[in-house]
Amino acid sequence: MVEKRTEVRVENRTLSLSNLDKVLWPRDGYTKRDLIAYYHTVADAMLVHVENRPLTLERFPNGIDGGSFFEKNVPHGMPAWVHRVTLSNPGGRRSKITYVVCDDAPSLIYLANLAAVVLHIWTSRVGSLDEPDFVLFDLDPGEHCTLKTLASVTLELRTALVGIGLSPLVKTSGGTGLHVVVPLAPGHSYDQAKIFAELVARHLAGICGKLVTLERMIAKRRSAAVYIDYVQVGHGKTLVAPFSVRARDGAPASWPLDWSEVEAFRRSRTSVPADAFGRYTIRTVPKALEREGDRWSGRSWKRAQLSRVVERVRKLWR
């Protein structure tokens, strides 16, 4: 079968797009054309968070029901103008991996045309790959965890971080969880970030009791609790990029939230987190972005110096 191709001009590049009418979300009818249009629309906001970061692609060439694969190494046939970075890969099957680095709208559209539905980013950037520019707290609700519990734990985390002088930001994962991040000033190591993340996670577990679990093995976790994943802080570890689409029914996207929205979740009658977060989709996010802007941009991105914070922690969290 011959692929149907369409040539489009994006900024200063001509792209050959294929099979635009291929349905990627069968229960919603969303096609590859819809995916490409979405990423084109949100490109300016998304690239602020994605540029200069190595990417892991999560590709669904036959739609979200047709199987998928993660791709770290540069896809075959990728044009030379798409940026990349080659890094050593100790202990892996490949001695080196050449990652895609998506720095412009043509690159983002090119990846969408590969059915790279989900983009996973590093927490550091090319030029300072050993220095994360934020600490991630990944809050993952158990199977029987309610939206109220997830929101309550997330707000306790915010209170703890604000109490030691930090300005945390929050977004949906695009799935069932929430991501809280603390921007960092230049010069921090991954070891420093991970030690801090564990310190905060253990403090939160002490405050929230049975509502929080730090147990890594899923089978041993309390199903009604929120798992705080501080292990996800480290060199080469990734998270779903802000504005990235997810391979779930409804085509939800990872959306930067205002803290007032998390407070509303705590009062909501909706019990399932995914139902609440399902309002942020490839259909709704572009309009919300136009109306509300990117809550993770500009002055909201307040960089912290952890050495000063740790001194406060030692005084306040004994």
Q: What is residue 214's predicted lDDT score, i.e. its pLDDT? A: 96
Phi, psi at residue 14, to the nearest 5°? -100, 120
Q: What is residue 58's predicted lDDT score, i.e. its pLDDT? A: 98
Q: Taking CA 183 as the corner, what is the angle to CA 133 and CA 318, rounded to the nearest 5 degrees? A: 115
Q: What is residue 1's predicted lDDT score, i.e. its pLDDT? A: 47
Q: What is residue 316's predicted lDDT score, i.e. its pLDDT? A: 85
Q: Give the architecture-level CATH label for domain 5-122.
A: Alpha-Beta Complex (3.90)
Domain ranges of the chain: 5-122, 134-238+248-316
* Distance of alpha carbon 186 from alpha carbon 167, whole angstroms: 16
* Distance of alpha carbon 141 from alpha carbon 168, whole angstroms: 19
Angle, in degrees to the nearest 10, between helices 190-208 and 306-316 = 30
Q: What is residue 3's predicted lDDT score, i.e. its pLDDT? A: 66
Q: What is residue 307's predicted lDDT score, i.e. its pLDDT? A: 87
- HSE-CB of 74 using CA atoms within 13 angstroms: 20
Q: What is the reported pTM?
A: 0.95
Check if the beta carbon of residue 267 is closer than 8 Å to that of residue 180. no
Q: Give the architecture-level CATH label for domain 134-238+248-316.
A: Alpha-Beta Complex (3.90)
Which parts of the chain register pLDDT below 50? Answer: 1
* Among 55, 176, 48, CA closest to 112: 55
- For tokens 């043509």, what's the residue? 106
The reply to whether domains 5-122 and 134-238+248-316 share a CATH topology is yes
Structure tokens at 66: 């047709």
